[in-house]
Amino acid sequence: ELADIGVLGLAVMGANLARNAARKGFGVAVYNRHGGRTDDLINEFGSEGRFTPSKTIADFVASIARPRPIIIMVKAGKPVDDVIEELIPHLDEGDIIIDGGNSLFTDTNRRFHYLTEKKLRFIGMGVSGGEEGALEGPSMMPGGTREAYARIEPIVTKMAAQVDGEPCCTYIGTEGSGHFVKMVHNGIEYADMQLITEAYDLFKTVYGLEAPAIADIFADWNEGELNSYLIEITAAVLRKVDDTGKPLVDSIVDEAEQKGTGRWTAQSALDLGIPLTSITEAVFARALSARRTERAAVEARFPHGDVAKRAPSAAEIDAIKDALYASKIVAYAQGFEQLQVAAQQYGWELKLGEISTIWRGGCIIRARFLNRIREAYASGTGGGNLLLQDYFADAVIKAEASWRKVVGLAVAEGIPVPAFASSLAYYDGLRRARGPANLLQGLRDYFGAHTYGRLDKPGKFHTRWSQDGSEVKTSD
Ligand code: NDP
């Protein structure tokens, strides 16, 4: 009997996705470049379902029912191209290669058109949820043609996490849109995590709380509007005690690593001209954290005065929660703006309500909050900035005073809170009908004759700054 789907690449993610499909009753063909991984999977988990292991690509492809859906789950970058080239000679018209890795969306665009020319089909599918999600049900963001998606829909919607009876998987759009949406998801994840670490830093450094006490605060927050996977695991990480009997977190090196999706999100924002400040600050904060030796040397040169530590009052804890929540709203508003602008720019029909729906479960940013975003974008008011949607506008207005107080406190104490502060600056910048860029335009016209518009009359103007100082109209 032929398998319903193939999985190529059986490291952590591929093996778990294959097991997921098998557990849901699908026949799963499996293959890995080094056969040891295939053997391990079958030896350990072969009894979980109908697996068909193969040791050659030819046998692997031949064991799948046509038109064949093949998920490739290999290291992003060149390995994906290598695997595609290896598969092509064995495939038949209409077969579908599904790249489930964290590929750069522009690579996916390229592969989509390349395979379409070869009469094959390609789906770039963002998969979020890590190891556990891949096994128990991830959030999946497939992009490609609708017809290709229709072929895999009965399988992937069963493999995905389910929330209120709805699968966390929906058709995203054409070309690399699925990987684009996954990329922005990861960018938002960067911002969420940075905001959490800034709150932690304030509790630890300004208020002198120990990890278990901070864990209690996050556990409490997880009962309210901040309820989310990341807040939940923050409490778990802070609570963990190692062999020495001390909090593990206090012994973990404070150098953040990154694999690139946050950086790509920030780069895309620059390309699209979007003020994606929260996510980008989160990427920069990781980069700064990675300079550990330099930080130690600089601290010696610019020593801190001691912060007078005292336990926070309930109101002070709430203020940090408010600052985190308002900053989080800004980060999501920026991320969703990026999706809207990309949709316009690249001609994709991204449905923001559906995207927030499939992020409610399975993925790393899953949160109660996403129900609100789903409501905002499903309410028929169209797109637009999330901050202007009633629920979020009310939340930000309610949090505003605390948000300012917390950023002020951090600045006064010399504790960096780049994501809190840049989110606040974005909010303050956005809610000003008249900002200071009039001066900027004046400067640009002075040194580069770049012209400016006027409030009092239409057209473009240039002042002859270094000649007679007269103004000329340069266009209507
Ligand atoms: P890795 O990214 O560590 O990749 C290892 C797999 O790639 C192995 O199966 C390896 O085969 C295969 N591989 C590498 N190069 C080649 C090649 N040239 N030809 C054939 N196979 C090759 O595995 P992960 O499971 O961690 O991740 C897979 C993908 O999923 C990545 O794109 C990752 O970014 C993404 N992802 C990962 C998440 C995670 O939590 N880990 C979460 C979401 C997405 P071999 O065993 O023969 O070396």
Atom of ligand 1 nearest to the CA of 130: 40
| Element holding 472 (H helix, E strand) | strand 471-475
pLDDT digits (tens, 9 = 90+) for 305-344: 888 788 999 999 999 999 999 999 999 999 999 999 999 9
pLDDT digits (tens, 9 = 90+) for 212-230: 999 999 999 999 999 999 9
Please give the CATH topology (third level) of the domain spanning 182-430.
N-(1-d-carboxylethyl)-l-norvaline Dehydrogenase; domain 2 (1.10.1040)
Atom of ligand 1 nearest to the CA of 34: 47
Residue 143 marked ligand-binding:
no
Phi, psi of 128 (to 5 degrees): -125, 145
Which residue is closest in CA terms to ligand 1's atom 38? 130
Residue 102 marked ligand-binding:
yes
For residue 453, list its beta bridge partners. 460
Across all residues in the chain, what is the average pLDDT?
A: 97
Residue that the structure tokens 């891949």 belong to: 134
At 60, the amino acid letter reads F
CA atoms within 13 A on the CB side of 262: 23
Which residue is closest in CA terms to ligand 1's atom 34? 102
Pocket of ligand 1 (CB under 6 A): 9-14, 32-34, 37, 73-76, 79, 82-83, 101-102, 127-128, 130-131
CA 260 – ligand 1 centroid, Å: 15
pLDDT of residue 309: 86
CATH number belonging to domain 437-475? 1.20.5.320
d(CA 428, CA 227): 26
Domain ranges of the chain: 5-175, 182-430, 437-475
Atom of ligand 1 nearest to the CA of 74: 7
Annotated catalytic residue within 182, 204, 321, 328: 182
pLDDT digits (tens, 9 = 90+) for 341-360: 999 999 999 999 999 999 99
pLDDT of residue 378: 85
pLDDT digits (tens, 9 = 90+) for 428-458: 999 999 999 999 999 999 999 999 999 999 9
Residue 382 — pLDDT band, cuts 50, 70, 90? low
d(CA 471, CA 446): 12
For residue 282, which of 263, 255, 264 has the smallest C-alpha distance? 263
Task: Pick from 12, 74, 364 the residue to mutate for probing ligand 1's pocket: most ligand atoms within 8 Å of its CB.
Answer: 74
| Element holding 474 (H helix, E strand) | strand 471-475
Kindly provide the b/e burial profile for residues 238-255, where b requires at least 16 CB atoms within 10 angstroms of the residue's own CB. Answer: bbeeeeeeebebeeeeee
CA 43 – ligand 1 centroid, Å: 20
Atom of ligand 1 nearest to the CA of 100: 30
d(CA 266, CA 317): 31
Copy the structure tokens of residue 85: 């080239």
Copy the structure tokens of residue 125: 């599918």
| Element holding 289 (H helix, E strand) | helix 277-289
Annotated catalytic residue within 175, 189, 198, 316: 189
pLDDT of residue 244: 96
pLDDT digits (tens, 9 = 90+) for 250-290: 999 999 999 999 999 999 999 999 999 999 999 999 999 99
pLDDT of residue 106: 98
CA dihedral for 130, 134, 139, 142, sign (positive or negative): positive
Segment 381-396 mean pLDDT: 90
Residue 190 marked ligand-binding:
yes
pLDDT of residue 308: 79
pLDDT of residue 270: 98
pLDDT digits (tens, 9 = 90+) for 46-79: 999 999 999 999 999 999 999 999 999 999 999 9
Copy the structure tokens of residue 442: 């004046």
Residue 259 marked ligand-binding:
yes
% of the chain exceeding 70 in pLDDT: 99
pLDDT of residue 31: 98
Segment 399-410 mean pLDDT: 98
3-state class (DSSP) for residue 8: strand
347: left (phi > 0), else alpha (psi -120 to 50), else beta? left
The DSSP output letter for 205 is: I
Kindly provide the b/e burial profile for residues 368-407, where b requires at least 16 CB atoms within 10 angstroms of the residue's own CB. Answer: ebbebbbebbeeeeebeebbebebbeebbeebbebbebbb
pLDDT of residue 381: 64
DSSP output for 370-389:
HHHHHHHHHSSS-SS-GGGS
Residue 332 marked ligand-binding:
no
CA 361 – ligand 1 centroid, Å: 23
% of the chain exceeding 90 in pLDDT: 97
Segment 123-136 mean pLDDT: 97
Under 8 Å CB-to-CB from 141, ≥6 apart: which residues?
125, 126, 127, 128, 169, 172, 178, 179, 181, 182, 185, 355, 358
The matching CATH number, chosen from 1.10.3720.10, 3.40.50.720, 3.90.1150.10, 1.10.357.10, for 5-175 is 3.40.50.720
pTM given for the model: 0.97
pLDDT digits (tens, 9 = 90+) for 98-119: 999 999 999 999 999 999 999 9
Residue 380 — pLDDT band, cuts 50, 70, 90? low
Segment 394-400 mean pLDDT: 98
3-state class (DSSP) for residue 218: helix
pLDDT of residue 360: 96
pLDDT of residue 402: 98
**Alpha helix (H) residue ranges in 166-225:** 177-201, 211-221
**189 included as an active-site residue:** yes
Phi, psi of 356 (to 5 degrees): -65, -30
CA 356 – ligand 1 centroid, Å: 27
Residue 228 marked ligand-binding:
no
Task: Pick from 73, 125, 261 the residue to mutate for probing ligand 1's pocket: most ligand atoms within 8 Å of its CB.
Answer: 73
pLDDT digits (tens, 9 = 90+) for 170-191: 999 999 999 999 999 999 999 9
CB distance 162 to 168 below 8 Å: yes
pLDDT digits (tens, 9 = 90+) for 411-424: 999 999 999 999 99
Atom of ligand 1 nearest to the CA of 14: 25
d(CA 176, CA 123): 8
